Structure 1
Amino acid sequence: MPNTGDIEAVDPSQRSDSQVKVYAVPPREGAAPAEVVDGFLEAMTSDDLQFATARKYLTKAASRKWDPGSRTTVLADGPTRRATPANDRDAPQVSSTFELSGTEVAVVDKQHAYQPDKGEYRNVIHLIHQNSKEWRIDDLPAGLLLSLSDFQRNYHSVNKYYFSSASSSGSSGASGPPGTAGSSGQDWLVADPVYLRQGIDPETRMDPLTQTVASLLDGPTNWLRPVASSRFPSGTALKKGVRALTLDDRNGLKVPLNARASGVGQGQCRMMAAQLLFTLRDVTAMRVAQVELERADGSQLCVLSADQSQEYAPDRTSGTPAGEYFVDGKGRLVRMQAVGADTSGKADPEPVAGPLGAGAKPLSTVAVARDERHAAGVSKNSATLSRASIVSGDGSAEQLYTSRAKQEKDRLSAPSWDGRGDLWVADRDPAHPRLLRFADGSGEPHPVPVVGLDGARIEGLRMSSDGARIALLLWKDGHTTLKVGRVVRRQTGSGTTVSAVEELRPGAPQMADVTAVSWASRSRLVVVGKEAGGVQQVRYMQADGSVSGVNPLPGANRITAVAASDDDRLPLMALSDEDGIVRLPLRANWKTVVEEGKSPVYPG
């Protein structure tokens, strides 16, 4: 027994332990309407197959119509019920109505996509006294209604992977002949986060591994569909009757498919297998070493190992550990020599080769290309964007763009590179604000329209490694918020071009003000900000706006910039107004690297 610490009351409705199993209780004989409603709401949180016990609270007609998988509404503290007798004054003995209310956190749709929706929830649930014997629910809200704690206990986030596409059609079927990457000409995998059941799914009766495979075969979510597609032919599903997939003693997985996939060639089949391998990376405790796809008749379609799937990796780097960079006190781009997960906090920064490391033209912010051969820097007065090699001392910097804004705060944001080699920056000039893209990191700027800004100004941006998503810091009405948009690319006669950024969705809906953001993995962001009336915190967020992990990271003093690597073994870096450039190694606290510096970045 502990002999120190405070006593804490535990509300049984606030279960966050994923190992807790809830058993539904059927309605007792003669239960009052309020008791029936409470029992049904509790039964929705159970793992009962087909929600058989929950259906006992419904009339037969309501049970036939109720589709628990149609949507899941997540409320901060669960629904509050209140009787509304005015609705039943004409027949109080045979009819009873309750209002359900709460604070809505999100909705998970039929595709398992998480959609944050902070606001007030109101709905009604209606009961009848059937056959003058028992009260049963005959009208109810669609899908499931869960508290946030019950949702976190029952569901977990999974990244599905699809191939990026320059087509705007967004078909979820096969796109392009076997061995090709469709209209984009690139074999880029893009993460598509969804929420699936932690254990056996009550409706499909599938275990988590099989649920994940089935969800992947269903195709990308509606939000990602216009910029990504599956290499599985349209209509591909698991072979009828398959409800459980298991790894063999060599960590190989056989996946039997229906007849829709039986005719694909080896090139396309390898890409199908790559989608599976990347999707399953974080689903099982053991790493899936190989995937074998089978035809409907049981014959082998193709085999792909985890090592072979790396040619389709979403984050293609030089293969060496990513460098840690920042701008030192002399305005030079420098690289830390101490990389990795050491906890000393010490570093020996050295200027990079080339003009950006020489300091002749001091820099304010920088971005390093993902192959770490080039970098882009914004001048000290935030007016001019330049690009230069950082592996060769020869040559001068290429001046790419100059903002005409009168004030420094209205000029250029920090730049960012995507994994395709394109460079992005925002010109914050109030007279002519623009999001700009430089194809292959040089040449003329290409303005990219952003749909849905609604009068907000882009203060900062970070591109994902796959180039299909962009994280935007938007300023409006005195607040800076985070939005994530999809990057729509179209195939033209001269190649692939970006047509727009669209479908902006909240990236940190809990935060009233966001100070800094960085991509931390294929679908995760590290966000610095604060809730209304709260203090600054550093937190991991999923790209769909859900919280990644329960607790915020250790805080530092007044962080104004943050950087993370797609490799989660590498420490976070940040700029603290009080402590300078700081690092957060694994299982440690923030440590100062240098007291004078700015713009900490990893490649990207």
Structure 2
Amino acid sequence: MGTDRRRDGHGRVLGLFALLGSGMVLLSACGSMPVTGDVKAVDASQPGDSQVQVYAVAPRDNATPNEVVDGFLESMTSDDPRFRTTRQYLTKKAAETWKPNAFTTVLTKAPNRNDRSLRENDRNITEVTYTLTGEKVATVDAQSAYQPLAPTDYNQTLHLVKENGPDGKEWRIDQVPDGLLLGQSDFKRLYRSVNKYYFATGRPEAQSTLVADPVYLRSRTDPVTGMDTVTQSVRSLLAGPTSWLRPVVASRFPPGTALKKGVTSLAPDDRNVLKVPLDKKADGVGQRSCRMMASQILYTLRDLTSARVEQVELQRSDGSPLCLLGADQAEEFAPDGSSSGPDSQYFIDDKGHVERIPGSTKGSGAPEAVTGPFGDGPVPMGAVGVARDEQSAAAVSSDGASLYVSSIITDGELPDASVTSRAHDAKNRLSTPSWDGRGDLWVADRDPGNTRLLRLTGGTGQPQEVAVPDLGGGRIEALRMSADGVRIALLVNQDNRNTLKIGRIERRGPASEQQVSVVELRQAAPQLMDVTAMSWSGRSRLVVVGKEQGGVQQVRYVQADGSTSASGVLPGVNQVSSVAAADDEQLPLMAVTSSDGIVKLSPGDNWQTVVKKGSSLVYPG
């Protein structure tokens, strides 16, 4: 069956075809390729089904320079094994040196190229230079780490020469940038986000907890390695954490550990056991380390629905079993701390008291005042943060000046303020507090004369100022701690608008004299011009409230690396002032609105009003 080569509205030759059929409805774990189905012409740069496999077509005889450039650009968007067909558009030397896996540049849409058609009729020319342009919005580096960018101009060149071929002189590209160049629709079709997991450093082994490290891998077989998505994920895990997260996490795999040579496909057996053959580097590990290694693989593969892995068996280089770990046993290292029950929601009522919606009701129960001074005390509160064990809470007075920490399960008097802001204006005083997975309490003082980020060890220690060297004159308006305790989400006000940034928390020195800093802030929602509220929602995702330039308010999910979540924008809710989400993504998303009060969105349901009057809604954390 032949391929259908056609031109689009810009005169570009589309040298690609897609194989469609029932075999593409569900991607199997072993990455098998269907052998039946109709061949249909497609424009690879148009949005489409991520399960449609697109194959490149080699350059035709006597192809013009325009056709060579277009064919090369389109071929990069295909599932071309080892990019063998793609390299046919290059000279022999360029084909040998071009490194498609060096990095990926993502543009808003397929790149434009300047039109040289008028010069193609000049038979005397022997070389041509093309300029590729577009709007760059992200890059993916050699570690598969995604980096969002504020839209910037992209400008690169391709140089073509005439090279001797079997049938005479043929135009080929002899100077080409390394890496792949893709429009957003092609990138989303070809790649998927995968969380690989490593252990947070600086904690006792008995308190070991896993941290999500998001990367982007090929949705099906990787053209360069020939590995399916499951095997790519394990290979990427073994290669170690991405550069941004590496200073605060560690792998339990011995350095240099790799899959046994020749392994390109991993799939669970009929008992949902995944057997992972490792090389000699892992032959001598002990059982505790092996179990921790297996837990890293189990959590990394948990979101790959095609895998359905219930147990992981690690194997030595000779094929003998090293250890076997089940999904229930891996809960010991859960990224969210494996809370014993569903989290309750907490909010401030119209009298300034802290109330609780019982966790067992999933947001549908009758609110009840918490025990202690926050539930019936004399000082009205304006914001609250509840410890993850739900034993204590921190609340900021309604005037924003004072932070108090107290039990919410036993009676007692209101203690002295742990932190006081001296700002004259209430909106410049203390932020809503947040607790990390280590039990430490964090709050920002927004006083223009003394802006600072503070941490209280265990919630009761003396406030310690935390350095944030990358603020660049900005001011922290709000913060939320991740459950793993190594990341912090910040709303930073600069130039009269709030942007969402994620920082890495580094701890140095002994616990008694520990120096803590937040470093390498990176944009998490560059597409939003102004962010007004946010919350962690799961292990590596946030829900944010904000506006795009010239747009209206929207509630949407974003990944911690700044990429857009597949869940996208959440319709049906307006005038949102705050949002709250849990580590468990099956619990409802909660929001405070000016029109409907406190509302909730359960998985598969619509927004529902929970309480007509309330503010500062939070889950523990």
TM-score (normalised: structure 1): 0.92
1:283 partner SS = coil
Match of 1:203 among 224, 227, 245: 224
Give secondary structure in 1 for the equivalent of 2:418. Answer: strand
- Other-structure match for 1:110: 142
Establish whether residue 540 from structure 1 lines up as the match of residue 557 from structure 2: yes
Deviation (angstroms), 1:271: 1.1
The 2-side partners of 1:91 and 1:465 are apart by 66
In structure 2, which of residues 532, 535, 541 is the aligned counterpart of residue 524 of structure 1? 541
Counterpart contact for 1:340–1:571, Cα < 8 Å: no
- Secondary structure of the residue aligned to 1:23 is strand
Of stretches 587-596 and 520-529 in structure 1, the one that deviates more from structure 2 is 587-596
Correspondence for 1:100 among 132, 140, 143: 132
Q: Tell me if 1:371 matches 2:389.
A: yes
CA distance in 2, matches of 1:165, 1:123: 41
CA contact (8 A) 2:401 2:426 kept: yes
Q: Which residue of 1 aligns with 2:183?
A: 147
Structure-2 residue corresponding to 1:514: 531
SS in 2 for 1:436: strand
Q: Within the alignment, does 1:59 sit opposite 2:91 as a pair?
A: yes
What's the CA shift for 1:572? Answer: 0.9
Q: CA deviation at 1:93?
A: 1.1
Does 547-556 or 147-156 show the bigger shift? 547-556
What is the deviation of 1:317? 4.8
Q: Give the match for residue 441 of structure 1.
A: 459
Q: How many pairs does the alignment contain? A: 576
Cross-structure match for 2:29: none
Query: 2:58 aligned to 1, 8, 26, which one?
Result: 26
Q: Aligned AA for 2:542?
A: L
Q: Of 475, 481, 486, which residue of structure 1 is paired with 2:504?
A: 486
Q: 2:153 aligns with which of 111, 120, 137?
A: 120
Does the Cα contact within 8 Å between 2:437 and 2:483 map onto a contact in 1?
yes
1:130-209 aligned at under 5 Å gives the runs: 130-131=163-164, 133-166=169-202, 181=205, 186-209=207-230
Give deviations 1:363-394, integer Å, cap 9, x for gaps.
11101111111111000000100111111124
1:578 positional shift:
2.1
- CA separation in 2, counterparts of 1:86 and 1:417? 65
Taking the TM superposition and a 5 Å limit, the aligned residue runs for 1:24-423 are 24-83=56-115, 93-118=125-150, 119-131=152-164, 133-166=169-202, 181=205, 186-285=207-306, 287-337=308-358, 339=360, 346-423=364-441
| Contact 2:332–2:338 under 8 Å retained in 1 | no
The residue matched to 1:202 in structure 2 has which SS? coil
Secondary structure at the aligned position of 2:476 is classed as: strand
1:503 corresponds to 2:520: yes
Aligned residue for 1:590? 607
Corresponding position of 2:9: none
**Per-residue displacement from partner, 1:2-50 (whole Å, max 9, x unpaired)?**
xxxxxxxx97621331111111011011111011110011111111110
Quote the Cα distance in structure 1 between the aligned partners of 2:170 and 2:69. Answer: 13
Q: 1: CA distance between counterparts of 2:242 and 2:159? A: 33
Instruction: For 2:393, give the aligned amino acid.
Output: A
| CA spacing shift, 1:603–1:87, aligned 2, 3 Å | farther
Alignment RMSD: 2.1
Contact 1:78 1:102 in 2 (8 A): yes
Tell me the amino acid that sits aligned with residue 209 of structure 2.
Answer: W
Contact 1:236 1:258 in 2 (8 A): yes
Residue 320 of structure 1 deviates from its aligned partner by: 0.7
> Secondary structure of 1:64's partner?
helix
- State how far apart, in whole Å, the 2-side matches of 1:340 and 1:12 are: 47
Asked whether the 8 Å contact 1:166–1:491 carries over to 2, the reply is no
CA deviations 1:37-87 (Å, max 9, x no partner) are 100111111111101110110111101111111101111111111147999
1:164-186 per-residue CA deviation (whole Å, 9 max, x = no partner) reads 1139xxxxxxxxxxxx74xxx74
CA deviation after TM superposition for structure 1 residue 419, in Å: 0.9
Q: Distance in 1 between matches of 2:196 and 2:416?
A: 39
Deviations 1:412-452 (A, max 9, x none): 01100111101000000001100000111112101000121
The CA deviation string for residues 251-287 of structure 1, in whole angstroms up to 9 with x for no partner, is: 1111111111111111211111111111111113353
| SS of equivalent residue, structure 1 residue 528 | strand
Report the secondary structure of 1:279's partner residue: helix
Q: 1:214 to 1:529 in 2, by over 3 A?
A: same
**Separation in structure 2 between the aligned mates of residue 289 and residue 325 of structure 1, nearest angstrom:** 35
CA shift, 1:347, in A, is 4.0
Report the AA paired with residue 234 of structure 1.
Answer: P
- Aligned mates of 2:183, 2:292 — CA distance in 1: 39
Q: Residue 281 of structure 2: SS of its match in structure 1?
A: helix
The AA in structure 2 aligned to 1:212 is S
Distance 2:465 2:511 in 1: 19
Structure 2 segments unaligned to the other structure (5+ residues): 1-41
2:184 and 2:399 map into 1 onto residues whose CA distance is 46
Q: Secondary structure at the match of 1:215?
A: helix
Residue 48 of structure 2 is matched in structure 1 by 16
CA contact (8 A) 1:85 1:97 kept: no
- Report the Cα distance in structure 2 between the residues aligned to 1:114 and 1:12, rounded to whole angstroms: 22
Say which of 445, 449, 469 aligns to 1:451.
Answer: 469
What letter is aligned with 2:309? V
User: Which sits farther off after the overlay, 452-461 or 289-298?
Assistant: 289-298
Say which of 521, 544, 549 aligns to 2:566.
Answer: 549
| Bigger Cα displacement from structure 2, 590-599 vs 230-239 | 590-599
- Contact residue 537 and residue 555 of structure 1 kept, 8 A: no
Residue 548 of structure 1 aligns to a residue whose secondary structure is: strand
- Find the residue that maps to 1:586 and give its secondary structure: coil
